[in-house]
Amino acid sequence: MSDKQLSISIVIPVYNERKTIREIVKRVQATPREKEIIIVDDFSTDGTRQILREFESDPQIRVLYQPKNTGKGAALALGFQAATKDVVIVQDADLEYDPKDYEALLSPMDAGRADVVYGSRFLYMEHRVLYFRHMLGNKFITFLSNLFTDLTLTDMETCYKAFKREVIQNIELRSQRFGFEPEVTAKVARLGCVVYEVPIRYYGRSYSEGKKITWKDGLAALGHIIRYSLFDRNFVKDAQAVRKVLVSPPPDPDVGVDTLEVFEDAHRYNAWICERADGAIGERVLEVGSGIGNIISEVLSRPRVKSVVATDLRGSSLAVLRDRFGHDTRLTTEVWNAEDPPPQALLSDTFDTVICSNVLEHINDHERALKHIRQILKPGGRLVLLVPSNPAIYSGLDEDLGHYRRYTREELQRVLTAAGFNTSSMISHNLVGALGWWWAGKVRGRRTLRANDTKNFDKLVPFLKHIDPYITKPFGGVSLIAIASPKVENTTIIEALSTEEADTSEGPLERYETAGRIDA
């Protein structure tokens, strides 16, 4: 807990509030904090402006005048930028909200627990009983906001919101009217702010007493929720300034390791990948970029496999892998970055299979890496290669995972050929995964995969694997799976099988079986 009480900037948007403006300023001034009061008049026409001139000589009060009526959101945005204290609080100019509740709002911030605090009218302190249909509409809008932001607010539309100044001043606000509430909520959630909610008093007023918000604003809020939750991406002015003040700024994650752990429990999906290439997996297997062993677990489950060498550029990942599968005497490990020449320990072995799953996209010089892989395959050996496909769905998910690219069929074929491989089979894999990647990365703007999403998808795999070959062929998938072998003299079968001919609903190696199995 901080020893110093936080100072506050109270921003009061005003439009035609001559009956209440003096009283609300008096109540705000009575609150026991170091403060400044910023009043933004939204071009009032009822005499409010004349009253505001009375405050201009008060050193604690600044009055800003809009040259025309632009709405509450625009007035707030102007007031936020003028703030200079630790915390910025929104205060309506009517008397519906009681400044005595500032201490409740500030308590989580004083304790160093919150970046943003909402005052909820539905956590039930004293409140006026009024407008049941408004309450239902408010709860419905809050529900939709929570659905998109994954917060658990009870009152998103509340006036009382308190923000760390650096947070609110670095959010680009675009809503000019009452869309401010869903907009700022969506953006605070996407920033990863720690949000608290506290009960407040509420003395709602009727329309005859000056209430301005209407059902039209409620309908508009639905559009604002969708717009600002899904589509408004570039709204942070200075991300580093925000990061410095967050209660628990997210650490710079090792997203690759985090993703491996997300897929650790996706047993059905990992098995599905291996099933699609099962005929190409021989007796002596090397995996490039094994990570913590999600694919290795499936390879070791095959009785025909006599030895497996797991490689990764991270010794820490291989240590986890050994903890998981070290009891299996067929397994050994080797630290190796595929961009580097293979170590002698790998060159002296004879591998009939190399598996490279979701690795090549992380390598800048992918052709060089494939040439190194070709060196450790014996003649007639097979490379099982899985890469992300469909460049149209490249997003922040790919960026944070360190993907240089997503592949087209043509690009993958080109790089395999340039590295000295003949491709016998190339299939598109997992259309539903591509749709999920597009939704999470392109639409929702996520930059990390969530464990729950992966677990839920894994439950669908027994059904999806039966229909995927039929629905993915015309539309493409989230991945491409290629089976390739080093070029050799007088190759007939491999060169006879074009990539397009091999893209069938059959498993990739079933074409081998009909053409004649390729062995060393």
Same domain, 191 and 296: no
Tell me which DSSP letter residue 443 carries.
Answer: I
Q: Answer yes or no: do 199 and 306 share one domain.
A: no
Task: Based on the fold, state whether residues 220 and 285 are members of the same structural domain.
Answer: no
262 and 151 inside one domain: no
Q: Please state whether the predicted TM-score (pTM) of the whole model is above 0.85.
A: no
Same domain? For 237 and 326 the reply is no
Averaged confidence pLDDT in the chain: 86
Residue at 499 is within a domain: yes
Q: Is the pLDDT of residue 225 over 70?
A: yes
Compute the chain's Rg from CA coordinates: 30
Cα(457)–Cα(464) distance, integer angstroms: 10
Contact 265, 458 (CB under 8 A): yes
Shared domain check, 358 and 288 = yes
State both tokens at 402.
């360190």
Shared domain for 261 and 309, answered yes or no, is yes
Q: Which among 217, 241, 265 is the end of a domain?
A: 241
On whether residue 1 sits in a domain, the answer given is: no
Instruction: Say if residues 115 and 245 touch (Cβ distance below 8 Å).
Output: yes
Phi, psi of 392 (to 5 degrees): -65, -20
Q: What is the pLDDT of residue 515?
A: 36
Dist CA 20 CA 163 (whole Å):
25
The answer to whether position 3 is within a domain reads: no
Question: Measured on CA atoms in the order 228, 229, 232, 234, is the torsion positive or negative?
Answer: positive
User: Residue 386: phi, psi to the nearest 5?
Assistant: -120, 130
Q: Quick check: is 482 in a domain?
A: yes
In a shared domain, residues 180 and 278: no
362: pLDDT strictly greater than 80: yes
Q: Is residue 194 part of a domain?
A: yes
**pLDDT value, residue 224:** 86
Among 136-140, 205-209, 369-373, 449-453, the range with the most confident prediction by mean pLDDT is: 369-373
Locate all alpha helices (DSSP H) within 289-375, ordered by sequence.
296-300, 315-325, 344-347, 366-375
In the block, residue with structure tokens 């989580």: 108
Same domain, 203 and 304: no
Per-residue pLDDT band for 216 (boundaries 50, 70, 90) equals low
Helix (H) / strand (E) containing 400 = helix 396-401
Sheet holding 61-65: strands in order across?
61-65, 35-41, 8-14, 87-90, 161-164, 116-120, 195-199
In this predicted structure, the answer to whether residue 420 has a pLDDT above a threshold of 90 is: yes
Asked whether residue 371 is assigned to any structural domain, the reply reads yes
- Which residue carries 């091999």 as its tokens? 502
Interacting residues of 214 by C-beta distance below 8 A, sequence separation 6+: none
Q: Which amino acid is at 109?
A: M
Asked if residue 59 and residue 138 are part of one domain, the reply reads yes
User: Domain range holding 281?
Assistant: 255-515
Answer yes or no: do 296 and 322 share one domain.
Answer: yes
Q: How confident is the model at residue 492 (pLDDT cuts 50, 70, 90)?
A: very low
Sequence-ordered alpha helix ranges (H) in 163-266: 165-169, 180-191, 215-226, 239-245, 255-264
Say if 250 falls within a structural domain.
no
Cβ proximity of 309 and 334 under 8 Å = yes
Q: Closest by alpha carbon to 188, among 255, 144, 246, 241?
A: 246
First-to-final CA distance of the chain = 70
Instruction: Check whether residue 149 and residue 22 sit in a common domain.
Output: yes
The number of angstroms, rounded, from the C-alpha of 95 to the middle of its chain's C-alpha atoms is 39
Per-residue pLDDT at 3 exceeds 70: no
Most confident of 30-44, 244-258, 316-330, 480-494: 30-44
How much is the pLDDT for 4? 72
Q: How many domains does the chain have?
A: 2
